[in-house]
Amino acid sequence: MVIHFACRNKLLNLALGAIAGRESVMSARNAVLAEPKPSTQSNTSILRDRLFQTRTLSTELARPLSDEDQVVQVMDDASPTKWHLAHTTWFFEAFLLKRFLPSYQVFDERFEYCFNSYYESVGSRQPRPKRGLLTRPSAEEVRAYRAAVDEALERLLDQPVQPEAAELIELGINHEQQHQELLLTDILSLFAAEPVKPAYRSAPAGVATSEATPLSFLSFEGGIFEVGHDGKGFAYDNEGPRHEELIRPFKLATRCVTNGEWIEFIEDGGYSTPTLWLADGWNTVNGQDWQGPLYFEKAEGGYMQMSLLGYRPVDLAAPVTHVSYYEADAFGRWAGHRLPTEFEWEVAAACVPLQGRTLGQDHLRAMPAKAGATLQQMFGDVWEWTASAYLPYPGFKAAAGAVGEYNGKFMVNQFVLRGGSCVTPEDHVRPTYRNFFYPHQRWQFMGLRLAFSA
């Protein structure tokens, strides 16, 4: 099956949120990301609703956790739940309320040191590997901090909102959505390290078994394509400027690589065959004694994996999760294929409805692909590694001030992932979204899709 120029033209012309059939699957929270439509609700009212829905969701995600759960940090990459809740609150206080709410009184001056993440222009901060040492302020104090800032945000929104303030609120919403995903992946890393293997949410024992849909590939024509965000609706600065890329004809798998296929890789000596690996990857495999994906264990009768639903048998038909770029690259070589570039992925995604099994679907794990010959799992289930280094687009320029540190300074030594995962908030995905991680990292819901040159 060849994707012809009609699909290419759709990519050239689509506005975010306006491709055919997409509106029917968008949530109310997605309203400000779509093209403007007649509404009796003001822009400020829509923004207010989205803001407080997002703030409430963070609190709800933390509700199943004890105060003790919310303090511990199991590794340098992860942060405690309490820190996520406080940091997202500090973001609104530091960048919005202090500037735009007259006579706003900072909740506690000490919190800026505790909950600043990486904003050098703001000042010094608690080192990331030591966030788990912050037993004070307590979880109860952090909840009071959130309540106080929420009340101040209400007061800010009761008055006319300046355009720059509205932009910062939108950025703050999306920033908090990122931390909602991190909150869940970081608590999984903690629970996986515990001897009793607690579940974030209980689920029936075992998993439903099903056959994976056959692996097939769709063909895409080459050409010069416009890629990147078109400027309509919210996007991070690293998604632009929109520009042209030369893409040669390629084929893309209709679904993600499954656990069952990954087990074949393991049992064929994938983790002990140096010729499959990049040199840095092979050093990592040996230095950290990797034998399979993170949280993956061989047990009597099969494989088990720790998940947000507890320690459970691996679903062979579901996408493999918690694999690094190094592993994804090695698997592609073993399979006789490769990872797609981020631009190949984006061209293909332009013809796919913006829907998938994200956090709003409440599975809390990657699910098997549905039957069909079309592209599946492009949005949701797992973030998909691409072969593309995380670099600035032509003409990229970071914004002035602290918010300019959000993305640009990380554009080195990392790789791009596309698509979203089972714990990505439902209106936090789009075809141009560029996630990025270091090639050895794998604690996020990371998977892969195969490609090859046609």
Whole-number percent of the chain with pLDDT over 70:
90
Please state the rounded mean pLDDT for residues 79-88: 98
Name the pTM for this structure: 0.90
Mean confidence (pLDDT) of the chain = 90
What is the chain's length?
A: 454
Q: Is the pLDDT of residue 37 over 60?
A: no
What are the CA-CA distances from residue 347 to residues 66, 219, 249 (Å)?
Answer: 44, 12, 11
- Report d(CA 433, CA 438) in Å as an integer: 17
In the prediction, which pLDDT does 301 show?
86
3-state DSSP percent of the chain in helix, strand and coil, to 5: 40, 15, 50
Please say if the pLDDT value at position 260 is more than 60: yes
Judged against a pLDDT cut of 60, whether residue 24 lies above it is answered with no
Lowest mean pLDDT, pick from 24-38, 284-298, 383-397: 24-38
Q: How confident is the model at residue 2 (pLDDT cuts 50, 70, 90)?
A: very low
pLDDT band at 209 (very low <50, low <70, confident <90, very high): low
> Edge to edge, what strands does the sheet with 2-3 contain?
2-3, 217-220, 250-253, 451-453
Q: What is the distance between the alpha carbons of residues 172 and 163, in angstroms, rounded to a whole number? A: 14
Q: Other C-beta atoms within 10 Å of 75: how many?
A: 13
Single-letter residue type at 310: G
Lowest-confidence pick of 1-10, 35-44, 276-285, 401-410: 1-10
Cβ count near 144 (within 10 Å): 14
pLDDT at 48: 97
Cα separation, 282 vs 291, whole angstroms: 12
Per-residue pLDDT, averaged over 48-75, amounts to 98
Q: For 99-153, write each residue's pLDDT tens digit.
A: 999 999 999 999 999 999 989 888 999 999 999 999 999 999 999 999 999 999 9
- Amino acid 35: pLDDT: 34
pLDDT bin (cut points 50, 70, 90) of residue 8 is: very low
Which residues have CB under 8 Å from 232's CB, separation 6+? 15, 16, 35
More confident residue, 289 or 35: 289
Rounded Cα–Cα distance for residues 131 and 145 (Å): 18
- Greater confidence (301 vs 248) lies with 248
Give the C-alpha separation, 423 to 355, whole Å. Answer: 14
- Summarised one tens digit per residue, pLDDT across range 161-202 is 999 999 999 999 999 999 999 999 999 999 999 999 999 998
217-220 and 2-3 strand pairing: parallel
Query: In order of start, what are the domains of the chain with their CATH numbers?
Result: 41-192 (1.20.120.450), 217-453 (3.90.1580.10)
> Amino acid letter at 275?
T
Report the first-to-last Cα separation within the chain, whole angstroms. 12
Residue 208 pLDDT: 66
Question: How far is Cα 292 from Cα 270, in angstroms, rounded to an integer?
Answer: 9
Tokens for 300, please give them.
């009597």
The backbone torsions φ and ψ at residue 337, rounded to the nearest 5 degrees and listed phi first, read -130, -155
The four Cα atoms 246, 332, 314, 324 give a dihedral, to 10 degrees, of: -70
Angle at CA of residue 359, ends 344 and 17, nearest 5°: 50
Backbone angles phi, psi at 182, to 5 degrees: -65, -40
User: What is the rounded average pLDDT of the residues 50-63?
Assistant: 98
- Compute how many other C-beta atoms are within 10 angstroms of the C-beta atom of residue 208: 9
The confidence score (pLDDT) of residue 206 equals 63
Kind plus residue range of the DSSP H or E element containing 115: helix 111-115
Evaluate if residue 10 carries a pLDDT over 60.
no
C-alpha span between 116 and 123 (Å, rounded): 8
User: E strand or H helix at 386, and its extent?
Assistant: strand 383-389
| pLDDT confidence of residue 344 | 98
Q: Higher-confidence residue: 18 or 175?
A: 175
